[in-house]
Structure 1
Amino acid sequence: MVDTGDAAPDFTAPLANGDVDSFTLSERLEDEAPIVLAFFPGAFTGVCTDEMCTFQDRLSAFDDVDATVYGVSRDTPFAQNEFREQNDLEFGLISDLNKEIIADYGVEMDFDDMGVYGVAKRSVFVVDADGEITYAWVSDDPGVEPEYAEVEDAAADAA
């Protein structure tokens, strides 16, 4: 798993933002850093919906420090756009359908009892303008949400 002080693994993936665009982390850093990458197991599930809606509710705190929030999951960008619409999310969701970003960040987990494999652990990384991870939080318990105030503080510190 990547950790604080590591270079953030670069990636290019589909971005659900109402349309489907391409997102390359390294190309976004200059204009959008600090970038908050909030990995979640799956759209339309209870805790994941709560988490993404909480980021939406607190979006002004990130806007105040010019930080940009993105959710990251294995869902297709089309499902993510529906999820965004149903929950009035104003930030983009990155589709990691091929599990490459999840693997690069070391946050893959399985739900063996449900036959679901290779989804993201609930985790949050803050990436500064230099591409360095300045904050890392990873939970082995999919029912635990991040400490949002801590993420906000980390984004402010990276600004």
Structure 2
Amino acid sequence: MPATGDAAPDFTAPLANGDVDEFSLSAELDEEAPIVLAFFPGAFTGVCTEEMCTFQDRLAAFDDLDASVYGVSRDSPFALNEFRAQNDLEFGLISDFNKEIIDEYGIAMDFDDLGVYGVAKRSVFVVDADGEITYSWVSDDPGVEPEYAEVEAAVEDLA
């Protein structure tokens, strides 16, 4: 699992942004850094919806810092577009349908009792323009949300 100070694992994946486009972390760093990657287990679930809606509510603060926010989950890009629409999310959601990003970041989690395997642990990584992780937070408890003010402070430190 990458930690603060490590190079962020690069990836290319579908981006749900109303359409379905391609997102490549390394390609976006030049124009959109710092980038906040907010991994969540699954769209349309209680805590995940609350988390993404809280990032939406705080989006102006990230915009003021010239930072970009992206949610990341195993959901298909089509499901993520519906999730965005139903929750009025203005930021893009990255589909890791094949679990490649989750594996690369070492944050896979299983819900054995539900028969659900390989979803993302709730995690947040801030990546600077050089591709370095300047903030990382990973929870083993899917019911715990990140400290949003802490994420904002980490981004502000890069300004």
**TM-score after normalising by structure 2:** 0.99
Percent of residue pairs bearing the same amino acid type: 84
Compute the displacement of 1:158 (Å): 2.3
Q: Is residue 126 from structure 1 mapped to residue 138 from structure 2 by the alignment?
A: no
Separation (CA, whole Å) in 2 of partners of 1:2 and 1:54: 25
Q: Give me the whole-angstrom Cα distance separating, in 2, the residues matched to 1:105 and 1:56.
A: 24
* Contact 1:16 1:78 (C-alpha < 8 Å) held by counterparts: yes
Q: Residues 105-116 of structure 1 correspond to what in structure 2 (within 5 A)?
A: 105-116=105-116
The amino acid of 1:93's aligned partner reads L
Instruction: State the alpha-carbon separation in 2 of the partners of residues 9 and 149 from structure 1.
Output: 25
> 1:43-95 CA deviation, whole Å, 9 max, x = no partner?
00000000000000000110010000000000000000000000000000000
Normalised TM-score (structure 1): 0.99
- In structure 2, the partner of 1:77 is 77
Structure 2 residue 43 is the aligned partner of structure 1 residue 43: yes
Distance (whole Å) between structure 2 residues aligned to residue 20 and residue 147 of structure 1 = 30
Unaligned runs of 5+ in 1: none
Q: Matched residue of 1:126: which SS? A: strand
**RMSD across aligned positions (CA):** 0.4
1:117 aligned partner: 117
Unmatched 5+ residue regions in structure 2? none
TM-superposed CA distance for 1:140, in Å, is 0.1
Which 4+ residue blocks in structure 1 deviate beyond 2 angstroms?
Answer: none
2:62 is the counterpart of 1:62: yes
